[in-house]
Amino acid sequence: MSVTVEINNNKLCIEIDLEKPTPSASGKTLVVASTHGNTVTTAEVNGKPITIGLNAYIKP
């Protein structure tokens, strides 16, 4: 998984690799991109790193 995070024009831009759809823990959706929990990024606000947690999914 590759995640790139940067701030452009006061917007947080997140780029993440798509994965092969896999069932979520509940089995109700198919996960296509995830940070698999919270991830500290190199992007900063007020000198402090931004932490993100991201899940992108589709409904089967």
Residue given tokens 């831009």 in the structure block: 13
State both tokens at 1: 């998984």
Q: With 80 as the cut, is the pLDDT of residue 1 above it?
A: no
Give the tens place of pLDDT for each residue, 15-47. 999 999 999 999 999 999 999 999 999 999 999
The pLDDT score that the predictor gives to residue 38 is 96
Q: How many residues does the chain have?
A: 60
Query: Does 58 have pLDDT greater than 90?
Result: yes
CA distances, 38 to each of 9, 28, 41, 52, 60 (Å): 24, 22, 10, 5, 25
Inform me whether the pLDDT recorded for 55 exceeds 90: yes
Residue 58 CA to residue 55 CA, distance in Å, equals: 10
**Which residues constitute the domain of residue 41?**
3-58
- The total number of structural domains in the chain stands at 1
How much is the pLDDT for 60?
A: 87
